[in-house]
Amino acid sequence: MTDPVAVAEELAPKLAARADAHDATGDFPAADVADLRGAGLLGLMVPERLGGLGAGFATYTRVAQALARGAGATALVFNMHASVTGALASVPEDLARQLGAGDAFFAQRDRLLAAAAQGALYGVGITERGAGSRLHALRTTYAREGEGYRLRGRKSTCSGAGHLDGYLVAAKAEHAVDDPDGPVSHFLVPAEAIGEVEDTWDVQGMRATASNGFALDCHVSAEALLGGIEGVAGLLAYGLPQWLVASYAAVYAGVARAAVDAGAAHVAERTVAGQEGGLGQVGWVRQRLGRADAQAEAARLTLEEAGRLVDHAPGEPATNAMIYRAKLLSGDAARDAADAVAEACGLAALRRGHPLERLVRDARSGPVMPPSSDLAADVLATARLGLDPVHGTDVRPW
């Protein structure tokens, strides 16, 4: 059987070779995605019976880290696709049937997963201006229409928008849009049903993710409702947060490691006037590199433990705490390691074309992506203090 981590490690240098060009133009990394498709990685989370590799969460985190060491933006597009396919593949059938999901849902789920194994690419549209990714505050709505649903609204940020075959869209029940406790559901919307994509993504880092916005006013079939039951988005966010939280952690743990690697490569070959042996002879430069290495490894180990727990004890409080720790530590490690190492390397690392220059910008998104580092820390402390995770503080996480 193919080892997907080895496949990703083999692809990473190819992605790295294109990363600067993609970053400079902000173009969607089509050649990278074609490579992922060719290598079968779009089917990573798809069960083997449907033509995929049948990976678990821990394997996903290793694959995403390996890809991110090549190109963070491509790894982020991959992470969104893996989140959709991974969440779909891991729906516990008994529980879903108990909650009311019927045969039509399972048939549709299998079709979507089989299509991913054949190369279809999916993305996630949750974020809206004003609401961010706080599900309870979304203004995109769904309402029953005939046999299916009508979706209306506008999403501000969706990695890969305009290049996807399907969009996972989070929407709130129209009748309860002003109620913070109103039901929120996920729909898998086919590309043809999405309105015009706004080509507005021009940001500091992770430029090659094409994280554009789009408008929605479309009818979707009843099977587009993920899980086959309304109102599960909030339950998943609080109860099984791995895909919403720790999937990004894998990308930023990889970015943190890439920053250490790029710093070490620069330090090893850089000569300094009057300092025989080069930059590596300067004590504080080594210290910065050493601290960055420790931070990147602490993030990786926490993520590894989160992956192990997700695969063996999903939904347990200890698992969910490890998921939030992994996101917090990875986002911070990427930002801190890239900043510290780049500063130690001097002006060269600030010049366009140097890998660290891009990594510093890419890494800034780590603590911002949901849940932000501040929010992840708050969720951990809320649990530690025994407060209600939804209503127990002044900030409602999702």
Ligand X SMILES: Cc1cc2nc3c(=O)[nH]c(=O)nc-3n(C[C@H](O)[C@H](O)[C@H](O)COP(=O)(O)OP(=O)(O)OC[C@H]3O[C@@H](n4cnc5c(N)ncnc54)[C@H](O)[C@@H]3O)c2cc1C
Q: Which is nearer to ligand X, 207 or 288 (CB)?
A: 207
Is residue 132 a contact residue for ligand X (CB under 6 A)? yes
273 burial level (CB within 10 Å; 0-12, 13-18, 19+): exposed
* Number of residues counted as binding ligand X (CB under 6 A): 23
Out of 74, 108, 157, 373, the only residue in the binding site for ligand X (CB under 6 A) is 157
Out of 124, 210, 220, 338, the only residue in the binding site for ligand X (CB under 6 A) is 124
The residue with tokens 């869209």 is 169
Out of 19, 80, 138, 363, the only residue in the binding site for ligand X (CB under 6 A) is 80
Is residue 15 a contact residue for ligand X (CB under 6 A)? no
Cα(141)–Cα(135) distance, integer angstroms: 12
Handedness of CA 32, 38, 40, 46 (dihedral sign): positive
Is residue 328 a contact residue for ligand X (CB under 6 A)? no
CB of 307 to ligand X, least distance (A): 21
Is residue 191 a contact residue for ligand X (CB under 6 A)? no
Is residue 334 a contact residue for ligand X (CB under 6 A)? no
Residues in contact with ligand X, shown as a per-residue x/- string from 204 to 243 under the rule CB under 6 A: --x--x-x--------------------------------
216 burial level (CB within 10 Å; 0-12, 13-18, 19+): buried
Torsion angle (degrees, nearest 10) of CA 107, 111, 114, 119: -170
Cα 320–Cα 324–Cα 329 angle in degrees, nearest 5: 145
Out of 59, 65, 141, 159, the only residue in the binding site for ligand X (CB under 6 A) is 159
Cα(302)–Cα(325) distance, integer angstroms: 7
The residue with tokens 């409702």 is 225
CB of 380 to ligand X, least distance (A): 15
Part of the chain binding ligand X (CB under 6 A), chosen from 8-16, 101-109, 119-127, 229-237: 119-127
Kind and range of the H or E element at 215?
A: strand 212-220
Which residue, judged by CB position, is nearest to ligand X in the bound state? Answer: 132
CB atoms within 10 A of CB 179: 11
Helices (H), the chain: 4-25, 30-38, 57-70, 72-89, 93-99, 103-117, 232-239, 247-269, 283-312, 317-345, 355-363, 373-384
CB of 369 to ligand X, least distance (A): 5
CB of 79 to ligand X, least distance (A): 9
Is residue 368 a contact residue for ligand X (CB under 6 A)? yes
Out of 59, 85, 127, 330, the only residue in the binding site for ligand X (CB under 6 A) is 127
Q: In the complex, which residues of this chain contact ligand X (CB under 6 A)?
A: 76, 80, 123-127, 132-133, 157-159, 206, 209, 211, 365, 368-370, 372, 374-375, 395
